[in-house]
Amino acid sequence: MEEKLKRLKEILAEFYDLYAVGMLLDWDQQVNMPPGGVEGRGYQSATIASLAHKTFTAAEVGRLLDDLLPYADSLDPDADDACLIHVARREYEKKTRVPAQFVAEFSQITANAMQTWQEAREENNFAKFQPHLERIVDLRRQYAEFFAPYKHVYDPLLDDFEPGLKTSDVQEIFSGLRLEQVALLKEIASRPQIDDSFIFLEYDEQKQWDFGVEVITRFGYDWKRGRQDRSAHPFTTNFGANDVRITTRVHKDNLASAAFSSMHEAGHAMYEQGVDPALARTVLCSGASLALHESQSRLWENLVGRSLPFWERFYPRLQQQFPVQLGRIDLWTFYKGINKVEPSLVRVESDEATYNLHIMLRLELEIALMEGTLLVKDLPESWNARMQEYLGVTPPNDAKGVLQDIHWSGGMIGYFSTYALGNLVSVQLWEKILQDIPDVEVQIRAGEFAALLGWLREKLHRHGAKYEPQVLVQRITGSKIDPAPYLRYLRRKYRAIYGL
């Protein structure tokens, strides 16, 4: 069996290398590539995606997995090799349902669509992006059919990002969450509003960049194994635990954007940098799921980065950088300003109390698109109507509405719910952290994050994708994904800020 396991690992390593090259092409397209390169990049991405798919779905891989499954069952279920074989089997069964030609076509179309989305957003022209999105929606429906029969057409798409979770599971979690968050928003709306105008003064872009770099360096982001660049939409990508890259965006008239984007993406990146090196170049060498990933980005962005102890340490430093804009703004005023609750148009710049409503809106639209009850041409109107219903605001244009997110252009229908699920998991983890590291807030106040990062490395990061997300969350916190801790956290936090 050792020889067969060795051979399986060799093939999986080859697949991972091809996958990483595909990710590198995508990173370059969003960071460096000139607009004229989009057609050629589409062909390149399609070729690499097809090669990777054929490598993983080769008949030899199936035979090796058939032979190795009894061996895996004889091992400790937590052993790396046992998890590797079982996860590889699961992925093999999924990938062999999807023709290589489909994978190549999907990769080419999305590479072209991403460039068109960026142009459409800049021009505020949904019609320019519409035919690309129509084709993507059609392809995602075709993809779902490869996995029929299913309970819901959205299930196969969700499973790509959140293994083991069903559409009904997410809808059940969100149904109670929505009611509680809307009630909290009404309470907050009854209180005097916070003045955060100081955030939207003019701030030097290089100083904003430098402050973000200083903060994430203290967090523990390893610059020897990463870098930061600018992109239209902040993201994290990795080509292995020793090359994990992030991007951010800097606005001269919005101090919060660059700092919190950098913290958010660093949370993703530190997760990848913390995966056990023994899992490198296998199906286990990345995060367990997108919700688990988002739990890390939101933990560092919000539970750390928007906390009072954090700013007790870092606000004086920020005031030094911007004495004219912040010199007369005291700490408590600043803290309230960065935590102001106000329904907004843009998801990535929304507050903690309204963020999940943005996600629920997108989830409902995606499900309707997949069911065929909503046509792509009607998406802007439906988007605006739901924004008004859920958040009480209507986008003035499509650039700040239906075109604001990059995900659909990349074919990532099935993804959005993981953002809200990640919020919930982040606080479940935080409650456990407070039990295990009672003085964690004291350490944050001192600018020390080693114990916090070490806890996350030990409990979560090192395991990579060995376990399904619900299993891993339960192992760490004692329960599956649960909205109750998040709701407790919001009420506690905003009770103090708004005097509820």
* Sequence ranges of the domains in the chain: 2-149, 167-498
pLDDT over 90 at 6, yes or no:
yes
pLDDT over 90 at 35, yes or no:
no
162 catalytic residue (yes or no): no
* pTM over cut 0.95: no
pLDDT over 90 at 116, yes or no:
yes
Q: Mind listing the pLDDT tens digit for each residue in 43-95? A: 899 899 989 999 999 999 999 999 999 999 999 999 999 999 999 999 999 99
Mean pLDDT, range 345-372, rounded to an integer: 92
Q: What was the pLDDT predicted at 46? A: 86
Q: What was the pLDDT predicted at 1? A: 83
Mean pLDDT, range 455-459, rounded to an integer: 98
Catalytic residue among 265, 294, 352, 366: 265
Between 191-205, 346-360, 457-471, the lowest mean confidence (pLDDT) is in 346-360
What does the longest C-alpha to C-alpha distance in the chain come to? 70
In the beta sheet, which residues pair with residue 237? 245
Kindly state the percentage of the chain with pLDDT values over 70. Answer: 100
- For 167-498, CATH number out of 1.10.1200.10, 3.30.413.10, 1.10.1740.10, 1.10.1370.30 equals 1.10.1370.30
Distances (CA, A) of 105 to 24, 27, 94, 166, 415: 19, 19, 18, 27, 20
Mean pLDDT, range 310-321, rounded to an integer: 97
**Residue 315 zone, left/alpha/beta (φ > 0; ψ -120 to 50; rest):** alpha
pLDDT over 90 at 182, yes or no:
no
Q: Which amino acid is at 71?
A: Y
Distances (CA, A) of 436 to 219, 267, 301, 310: 19, 20, 21, 19
Q: What was the pLDDT predicted at 491? A: 95
pLDDT over 90 at 372, yes or no:
yes
Q: What is the rounded average pLDDT for all residues in the chain? A: 94
Between 110-119, 131-140, 466-475, the lowest mean confidence (pLDDT) is in 110-119
Q: What was the pLDDT predicted at 38? A: 84
